[in-house]
Structure 1
Amino acid sequence: MTSRTVRVPADGALLTGDLVMPPGARAVVLFAHGSGSSRHSPRNRMVAERLREAALGTLLVDLLTEEEDARDRVTAELRFDIGLLGERLAAALDWLGREETTRDLPVVLFGASTGAAAALVAAAQRPERVLTVVSRGGRPDLAGDALKAVTAPVLLLVGGRDTEVLRLNEAAARDLAGPHTLHVVPGATHLFEEPGALEEVADTARRWCADHLAPHG
């Protein structure tokens, strides 16, 4: 297992990320965090650890710089700028395509909350780079017209008790152009804090990735 902190250039900004690659990695999962969160999100780190057990590399990257994050904590303006976040995520996809350890690997986009909308925007912008998109408690509705341009398979993971987000996911799913699956975790709320809920998210995402990697050998 190799781990390093990386700097990803994105239209004049430098984004900080943690890249971890297990031996014989079959793909790399690029995480997009949600509102007010960062690459240090304990939930995404737990999911990332489970995915690495299945020979999937992970890149957890902050889509805002330190200065932008400090401003956003006061104004909350950037966390909902899905266009900006989608472009930053597309830049991270481009970076993975240049890096020696990842350039030949398919990429899975994993978005949480508003990060799911950014992941879908990036998937629409870079269809040739994205194997599949996974959304955890996401807001795919915020991707707007990009939904109709996403051709990669999409997995929508939503808590059964997260009723408003579930409704928004059901509506967004109808606009997705490509294949998609809505998986409801029974009894779970938005942050999947209930016993076993986040584990179900991780295990379902791991199986989903394995199924879509199968044709790649």
Structure 2
Amino acid sequence: MGTRGQVNILVGTAGLPADIDGPDDATGLVLFAHGSGSSRHSPRNVAVARVLQQRGLATVLVDLLTPDEDALDAVTAELRFDIGLLADRLAGIVDWLGTEPSLGRLPVGLFGASTGAAAALVAAAARPDRVAAVVSRGGRPDLAGSALSAVRAPTLMLVGGLDEQVITLNEQAAGQLAAPHELRIVPGATHLFEEPGTLEQVAAAAGDWFCTHLPVPA
């Protein structure tokens, strides 16, 4: 896998720092969309990415806001909930990955956490020929709105058993998905999956989903 390490991905006029890693013979590529107020250094997403790499997948952890936007958002919290902006950035990153010689042949999955899950689903609806699978962790897929019915990628929604409000929101979103989908409850987990063993369950389920639903590379 030629393109790896820290890169700067240009989407429109925004330069977005990203960390790309994974085995040289990767069978697929998973792009992470972190939740509100987080970054590509999110310890939970980094931990999941490591497990996916062990499963033979390349991973892309990226900041969906520029450093200047991130500084603004830290004060106003207005951009972290701009699902349209975040989804456009994700779709632009998917396009960029498709032009990279070492990555372009790999099928793409999206892993979204919290509000990032909504952005992932909107991006999946916008790029149905490129995005082959979606996993949502403690996500807010309901915020994807009308895009839910346009998603074609098989979608796995993982929610903590103690995260009752988010379970309800995921159930409502699942009712609008036309794509194959599954809602799985992780017993004893709260929203951030900080309880012992719960994040490991998320990583294992995500690995199974992506390895099942990402097609063999062209």
- Note whether the superposition's TM-score is higher than 0.5: yes
Distance 1:27 1:178 in 2: 20
Amino acid aligned to 2:58:
G
Distance 1:91 1:21 in 2: 21
Match of 1:58 in 2: 59
Match of 2:207 in 1: 206
Amino acid aligned to 2:216:
H
Task: Determine whether 1:216 maps to 2:210.
Answer: no
Distance 2:39 2:212 in 1: 28
* Equivalent position SS for 1:178: coil
Residue 115 of structure 1, CA deviation = 0.2
Amino acid aligned to 1:34:
G
Match of 2:135 in 1: 134
Distance 1:12 1:119 in 2: 21
Describe how 1:31-50 pairs up with structure 2 within 5 A. Answer: 31-50=32-51
What is the TM-score normalised by the length of structure 2?
Answer: 0.97
What is the TM-score normalised by the length of structure 1?
Answer: 0.97
Match of 2:9 in 1: 8
* Equivalent position SS for 2:36: coil
* Equivalent position SS for 1:135: strand
Match of 1:77 in 2: 78
* Equivalent position SS for 1:109: strand
Higher relative contact order at CA 8 Å, sep ≥6: structure 1 or structure 2?
2
Residue 21 of structure 1, CA deviation = 2.5
Match of 2:112 in 1: 111
Match of 1:27 in 2: 28
Task: Determine whether 1:176 maps to 2:177.
Answer: yes
Distance 1:185 1:204 in 2: 10
Match of 1:189 in 2: 190
Distance 1:212 1:120 in 2: 16
The one-character-per-residue Cα deviations of 1:83-125 (angstroms, maximum 9, x if unpaired) are: 0000000000001100111100000000000000000010010
Residue 177 of structure 1, CA deviation = 1.5
Residue 24 of structure 1, CA deviation = 0.8
RMSD: 1.2
Distance 2:110 2:158 in 1: 13
Distance 1:172 1:37 in 2: 23
* Equivalent position SS for 2:88: helix
Amino acid aligned to 1:181:
E
Amino acid aligned to 1:100:
P
Residue 10 of structure 1, CA deviation = 1.1
* Equivalent position SS for 1:216: coil
Stretches of structure 2 lacking an aligned partner (at least 5 in a row): none
User: Aligned pairs, how many?
Assistant: 216
Residue 216 of structure 1, CA deviation = 2.5
Amino acid aligned to 1:50:
V
Distance 1:115 1:32 in 2: 5
The one-character-per-residue Cα deviations of 1:174-216 (angstroms, maximum 9, x if unpaired) are: 0012110001100100000011000000001111112113x52
Distance 1:82 1:41 in 2: 19
Amino acid aligned to 2:126:
Q
Comparing 2-11 and 35-44, the one that deviates more = 2-11
Stretches of structure 1 lacking an aligned partner (at least 5 in a row): none
